[in-house]
Chains A and B, each alone.
Chain A
Amino acid sequence: MNIQAYIESGILEEYVLGTVSSQEKQEVECMSHIYPEIKEELLRTEGALEQYALKHQTLPPASLKDAIFAQMNFDEAAEEPESAETDAVETVSALQYDSDNTVKKLPVEIVKEEEQPLIPPGIRSGEQPEAVVIYPAWAKFAVAASIIFAALFGWSAMKVSNVERENRQYAADIDLLKSDMDGLRKNAEHNQTLASLYRNPNYKVVRMAGLEKSPQSAVVAMWDTKTNDILLDVQNLPAAPEGKQYQLWTIVDGKPVDMGVLDGDFDSKILKMKQAQSGAVAFAITLEKTGGNPSPTMEEMYVMGKV
């Protein structure tokens, strides 16, 4: 990529003047994102035009400023007392609500407490002397036996269910161990493949670092310089939200080229992307709608790296 030639093509001037197509606009934004020299030139052009504009002033009517500022509100001064008031009102009403509740509840509880002790003793005290029941001895034994039997039965049932529970627990543990083993095996395989790729001199390794959108993100593109195959090793990238998919791009001749979308499940996997063109100077990943877009959304660029 000849940066000087790009700067001298005049595209930056057209960009600042706002006369470029939306495709060219994206291209310039992409390039200035990647090359600090281009960004600096862009800012210099903008700055010069800004100075030029400031040399050509026509003062608006003096009353306009007040008219405009009367329609604006500035939160700090105006809203804080307002929000404090509403807070206060809310707490007060909450308090009232609470006190209402307790006021209503209390009499009910009191009535209940009074009713319970009052009425049943009155009835019992009236009937008890007349109804004296004598139970036979066998009935007492039967009751004792049935209690013992019930206890034994309960105990054994408990034992059985304990054993069952333990069995289930063991089965679950075994499943867990199995899946752990699977995970470990997959990890080991993944690491082995990665190691062999990184060691393979045919692969050019392009590290894409996280941009301000997601500084923790890191993705590595491995470019087979013989076949132009591109493999992706996603080291860290937030899960794509519903309806979105990550999309890989290369920059060729100053234009973004679609390299395909990333499979949603990209953890611990090596993703095969479209074949690169030999002139690619940079790789970048943006978040796009599911299925990808024809051109990248610059605001949604997560990682980027130069070849």
Chain B
Amino acid sequence: MGNFISLPIRNVKFNVKRLLATSKVKYSEDELVVALKRNERAAFEFLYDHYSGALFNIICKTLRDEERAADVLQESFLKIWKNIASYNPEKGRLFTWILNIARNGAIDAARVEGRKPAMDDIDDRAAQNERDTSEELSTASSEIKSIVNMLRPERKILIDMAYFQGYTHEEISEELKIPLGTVKSRIRTALQELKHYFAV
């Protein structure tokens, strides 16, 4: 954490940009939305190439079973394709919209299984988070490592639970036995930090 803060911000931004440039065809968010609404194959390919990793990660966090997670990703992506006309850019960013579709798909699938996503053993989750982080550590360059670890673990798990797994603040408070007020303030602080680092 301390190390990262001393990193020059410009350097971080540059690296973030380079990391995101995974696809050949480039769209701005506005262009992408227009092309998606026109049902252009290239736009959907870009969407998939760009976001499927993040969506799959989120689905896996809730379902744990990669095969079922792949099914949910498929259903979610088809749902995005079918419902793109109903996406309203006025209401928020495209990613927030597609993430909601994927997250809800994962939560529904978990419910069908008869297991509330919130009933996961928390130690298991913490261990999984550790594992995620260490996997990321082993593969990523030092700059990425800094970005991933920029959140303190106790805040990171809150963001992951709320954002990736769709827990409400009350559920997190119950699960982690932390007062609701603390959950709210930690999430808020974590988001402030994220906003600061990504300077969007």
Q: A64-B74, A68-B77 are in contact. Are A58 and B56 (CB under 8 A)?
A: yes
Q: A19-B168, A51-B200 are in contact. Are A58 and B53 (CB under 8 A)?
A: yes
Q: Across the interface, do A52 and B188 meet the contact criterion of CB distance under 8 Å?
A: no
Interface of B is mostly: helix
Q: Which of A72-80, A108-116, A167-175 contacts B (4 or more CB under 8 A)?
A: A72-80
Question: From B60, which residue of chain A is reached at the shortest CB distance?
Answer: A58
Q: How far apart are the CA atoms of A48 and B163 in the complex, in Å? A: 12
Give the chain A neighbours of B157 by CB distance below 8 A: none
Q: A60-B56, A64-B70, A76-B40 are in contact. Are A53 and B93 (CB under 8 A)?
A: no
Q: Which of A37-45, A94-102, A123-131, A285-293 contacts B (4 or more CB under 8 A)?
A: A37-45
Interface of A is mostly: helix
Q: Across the interface, do B39 and A49 meet the contact criterion of CB distance under 8 Å?
A: no
Does B95 count as interface, using CB distance less than 8 angstroms? yes
Give the chain A neighbours of B92 by CB distance below 8 A: 16, 42-43, 46
Q: Across the interface, do B103 and A49 meet the contact criterion of CB distance under 8 Å?
A: no
Q: A10-B188, A44-B195 are in contact. Are A56 and B20 (CB under 8 A)?
A: no
Q: Across the interface, do B93 and A46 meet the contact criterion of CB distance under 8 Å?
A: yes
Contact with A61, one of B39, B70, B197, B200 (Cβ below 8 angstroms)? B70
Q: A45-B195, A77-B41 are in contact. Are A64 and B99 (CB under 8 A)?
A: no
Q: Across the interface, do A45 and B191 meet the contact criterion of CB distance under 8 Å?
A: yes
Q: How far apart are the CA atoms of A54 and B57 in the complex, in Å? A: 10
Q: How far apart are the CA atoms of A77 and B48 in the complex, in Å? A: 20
Does B68 count as interface, using CB distance less than 8 angstroms? no
Question: From B169, which residue of chain A is reached at the shortest CB distance?
Answer: A19
Does A65 count as interface, using CB distance less than 8 angstroms? yes
Q: Across the interface, do B74 and A54 meet the contact criterion of CB distance under 8 Å?
A: no
Give the chain B neighbours of A16 by CB distance below 8 A: 92, 96, 191
Give the chain B neighbours of A48 by CB distance below 8 A: 191, 194-195, 197-198, 200
Contact with A44, one of B45, B187, B188, B200 (Cβ below 8 angstroms)? B200
Task: Find residues 135-166 in chain B having any chain A CB closer than 8 Å to their own CB.
Answer: 136, 144, 147-148, 159, 162-164, 166
Question: From A54, which residue of chain B is reached at the shortest CB distance?
Answer: B54
Does A71 count as interface, using CB distance less than 8 angstroms? yes
Does B4 count as interface, using CB distance less than 8 angstroms? no
Nearest CB of A to B72, in Å: 10
Q: How far apart are the CA atoms of A45 and B66 in the complex, in Å? A: 29
Task: Find residues 128-181 in chain A having any chain B CB closer than 8 Å to their own CB.
Answer: none
Does B78 count as interface, using CB distance less than 8 angstroms? yes
Does A84 count as interface, using CB distance less than 8 angstroms? no
Question: From B67, which residue of chain A is reached at the shortest CB distance?
Answer: A61
Interface flags, A21-48, vs B, CB<8A=1, else 0: 0000000010001000000001111111
Q: Across the interface, do B95 and A17 meet the contact criterion of CB distance under 8 Å?
A: no
Q: Across the interface, do A14 and B191 meet the contact criterion of CB distance under 8 Å?
A: no
Question: From A58, which residue of chain B is reached at the shortest CB distance?
Answer: B57
Q: How far apart are the CA atoms of A67 and B20 in the complex, in Å? A: 25
Does B58 count as interface, using CB distance less than 8 angstroms? yes
Give the chain B neighbours of A56 by CB distance below 8 A: 54, 57, 132, 136, 148, 164
Q: Which 7 residue pairs across A and B have the least CB separation, nearest first?
A: A57-B53, A47-B200, A58-B57, A48-B194, A60-B56, A74-B41, A50-B95
Can you list 5 A-B pairs, Cβ within 8 angstroms, ordered by A? Answer: A10-B184, A13-B187, A43-B93, A46-B96, A55-B144
